[in-house]
A and B are shown apart, each in its own frame.
Chain A
């Protein structure tokens, strides 16, 4: 086979994958699914609309951002650190899993049904919480902030209400994410 190949180094969920040989032009979602066995980042549309495939890009400046893996080539992630849905919960040495506050809230509130879009919502909400930690938002602005952060994500089962409410409640219950006044 004579496809042009590239070497990329990825750090996924804290694990460094030393140079992977990938064909030029492979999308990140395909590398996650077919090479790394991480299938939680889901293919919904393949053209960057539905956001079921987003991962979290941890930037060097300590900020984080959602990136759609269905339209972003693996080359972009060369040398970068990302978190996928499989790396959001914490697993201790004994293999016990502690869900993140967002995951726990989605579970508590029955936020999802089929769960196909859930990884995208978890990652979007996680990025939002991390942003609010750096720059808190007025309590009165929380609902609008949640809506803006999740608006791009498509859900077909539960009509968004339980996702949005869960994220709002986590934000309001987490010290340091909100301010009392504008």
Chain B
């Protein structure tokens, strides 16, 4: 997987913390534990099922299960500019996993970002979001994980270079940025809205990708969920205004979260994994709660569909390379090819994702309910920067309602 969390924070955090180091003598560090008894957790099947559901809602597998690897046995690498951080084995293996962890230890990791051995986690582990998790939910996830088959899969050593490898540095970072409550991004008070807020902000940790990050790698909470490019594909603005501007309404958003495909939109890149591993498993009530929170108790009216005139050069490329599947009229093919008319990606003000999809293509993807979309070829070698910019501008103007303001240099920058 690409860098889900581009760890910019490491850079400057270390500087901050180098100064703070002397000031903080970590009680937690001293209280770290190694060894200890292997925990035996007895939980009712219902409790385990609840834990499984919550683990899916929290999308633990997205990082803790490597593609082709054992479930929750870790190993997924997250590249950053400073090295690679590997998600750990959270199966109950005593030596490699969390077999000796108590529910207190587990809670401490989720809530404070501190491992059982007292060392700091890097916020690639989204304790920054999980901090809002109830103790009961943490315990349920713990109970579920503890009854998994223990996997003897050794943890890979996170490969950060000095000085970023000084975990203690995170103490200062946490002091500055770890907060109990993330600000609400919509208006509401209903029970669904409250539940949705918990699902979106805490369990789903949506902000970890969708909230812009500041100079220290922290979530800029004043711009929560307004969209950010952590990796190659940006996580778009999912505030009520941002969603409505791209035509999203509660029903389509719910369909998207539970099936991955809604109207002309299909989840791709990291969001595809989120749907497949996490949101597809949520109950209809929880999906509705998420959409209620994302759009607010009173959802804004979705922007009307727009059709405009595109530039001729862009249309020529569209006809040459895209129309074969997406159709001359951009309608796509039911159950086969997404439409481009009013496709959410075309309606993003930031052309980044459209450029990236045009250059890289999108691999074949399976979705819930035996739905599959064929791969889309990338056109990096078939389009010059000028042609790609013209094509993207054509799409934006024709079916995205966006300004055709993409320049060849924007394309060049993403090659």
Any A–B CB pair closer than 8 Å: yes
A interface residues with partner B (beta carbon < 8 Å): 24-25, 27, 47-49, 59, 65, 68, 70-76, 78
CB distance from A120 to the nearest CB of B (A): 15
CB distance from A118 to the nearest CB of B (A): 22
A75-B319 CB under 8 A given contacts A47-B333, A47-B337:
yes
Q: A68-B377, A73-B320, A75-B316 are in contact. List 20 more A-B contacts (CB 8 A).
A: A25-B319, A25-B323, A47-B325, A47-B333, A47-B337, A47-B374, A48-B324, A49-B374, A59-B381, A65-B381, A70-B324, A73-B319, A73-B321, A73-B324, A74-B320, A75-B319, A75-B320, A76-B320, A76-B321, A78-B320
CB distance from B105 to the nearest CB of A (A): 43
CB neighbours (8 Å) of B377 from chain A are 48, 68, 71
B residues 120-157 with Cβ under 8 Å of A? none
B403 close to chain A: CB less than 8 A? no
Count: A-B pairs, CB below 8 Å: 42
CB neighbours (8 Å) of A25 from chain B are 319, 323, 328
Q: Nearest chain-B residue to A50 (Cβ)? A: B374
B residues 319-351 with Cβ under 8 Å of A? 319-321, 323-325, 328, 333, 336-337
Q: Nearest chain-B residue to A45 (Cβ)? A: B374
In the bound assembly, the distance between CA atoms of A61 and B371 in angstroms comes to 39
B382 close to chain A: CB less than 8 A? yes
Interface size class of B (residues with CB under 8 A): 10 to 19
In the bound assembly, the distance between CA atoms of A59 and B382 in angstroms comes to 10
B375 close to chain A: CB less than 8 A? yes
- The 10 closest A-B CB pairs, nearest first, are A71-B324, A76-B320, A75-B320, A73-B320, A25-B328, A49-B374, A73-B319, A71-B325, A25-B319, A27-B324
In the bound assembly, the distance between CA atoms of A115 and B319 in angstroms comes to 31
In the bound assembly, the distance between CA atoms of A70 and B325 in angstroms comes to 9
B residues 332-384 with Cβ under 8 Å of A? 333, 336-337, 364, 374-375, 377, 381-382
CB distance from A54 to the nearest CB of B (A): 11
CB distance from A62 to the nearest CB of B (A): 14
CB neighbours (8 Å) of A65 from chain B are 381
In the bound assembly, the distance between CA atoms of A61 and B354 in angstroms comes to 27
In the bound assembly, the distance between CA atoms of A10 and B262 in angstroms comes to 39
CB neighbours (8 Å) of A76 from chain B are 320-321, 382
In the bound assembly, the distance between CA atoms of A116 and B145 in angstroms comes to 51
A73-B323 CB under 8 A given contacts A48-B374, A49-B374:
yes
